[in-house]
Amino acid sequence: MASKARIPIYQTLLIAGILIVWEVLVRTGVAPVYLYGQPSGILQKLIALTASGELFTHAGATAFEAILGFVVGTTLGSVTGLALWLSETVARILRPIIVAINGVPKIALAPLVVVWFGVDIGAKVAIAASLTFIVALISVYQGTQEVDPDLVKLMRSLGARRLTIWRKVIVPGASPWILATMRLNIGFAMIGAVVGEYISAKVGLGYFIYNAGALYDLNSVFVGIFCLMVMALVLDFLLVKVEARFKW
């Protein structure tokens, strides 16, 4: 218990040590500031962007796109993955198609999504949803295959129909996989939103980072990356609480 209590201290010391070494290397000229940025400069930029409200505008746009894409993609993927258990024939027909789609880097589809959905928020949400959909589908379907077969056999021996088994055994049994997929998909949703903003956007952290990089303003780039990391940690923390609340 004592060692667990010390973990946050160790984490803080590790981060502080990295930042101190980074700052020293830049100040002594070992690491050029134009290539690596500078912690003190990043902090100043963070304060300035926060005070002006610009950072909240970009972060809010990315968070909205990522969360909406996450909800749409994870929900549809999970429902589809669960539904595939109802028909082994359909699952076999779709399996190679799913594998092929999963093998294509979703970033390669981004230009098509922009053409189909335009340059507004729809494109970013669609990219985020497409990334999370396929992950949820594959993971949740695998979860249905991992349900205790003895329970399925028992239900069948009692005369239960396939739909009843699905509702009473498969869905509850695959629920841990759904919760695990949700935590995994947070990262994919954010990737989708940021990639969409790279391609076509006027607001968002992806747009902010891309523009800052084009201007070689690495301090601003690191501010954007820092915001993405904080956003991911907050969303993951919330999902951990949900997982603990609804643990099966």
pLDDT for 222 beyond 90: yes
| Length, in residues, of the chain | 248
Dihedral (Cα; 79, 84, 87, 88), 10-degree rounding: -170
- Model confidence over 96-121: pLDDT tens digits? 888 888 888 777 777 788 788 877 78
In three-state form (DSSP H/G/I as H, E/B as E, the rest C), the secondary structure along 147-203 is CCHHHHHHHHHCCCCHHHHHHHHHHHHHHHHHHHHHHHHHHHHHHHHHHHHHHCCCC
Q: Can you give the pLDDT at residue 133? A: 94
pLDDT more than 70, % of the chain? 98
Q: Give the relative orientation of helices 39-52 and 54-84 as an angle to the nearest 10 degrees.
A: 90
Q: Can you give the pLDDT at residue 246? A: 66
Domains and CATH numbers, the chain: 41-245 (1.10.3720.10)
65-88: burial string, b at 16+ Cβ within 10 Å, e else: bbbbbbbbbbbebbebbbbbbeee
pLDDT for 2 beyond 70: no
pLDDT more than 90, % of the chain? 49
- Model confidence over 153-210: pLDDT tens digits? 888 888 888 888 898 889 988 888 888 899 889 999 999 999 888 887 889 999 999 9
Q: Can you give the pLDDT at residue 8? A: 83
Q: Can you give the pLDDT at residue 220? A: 94
- Model confidence over 76-92: pLDDT tens digits? 999 999 999 988 889 89
State the chain's mean pLDDT as an integer.
Answer: 88
Q: Can you give the pLDDT at residue 136? A: 94
Q: Can you give the pLDDT at residue 128? A: 92
Among 38-42, 60-64, 153-157, where is mean pLDDT lowest? 153-157
Q: Can you give the pLDDT at residue 118? A: 76
Q: How far apart are CA 60 and CA 72, in angstroms?
A: 18
Q: Can you give the pLDDT at residue 179? A: 87
- Token pair 């991992």: residue: 146
Q: Can you give the pLDDT at residue 65? A: 94
Q: How far apart are CA 146 and CA 82, in angstroms?
A: 12
pLDDT for 21 beyond 90: yes
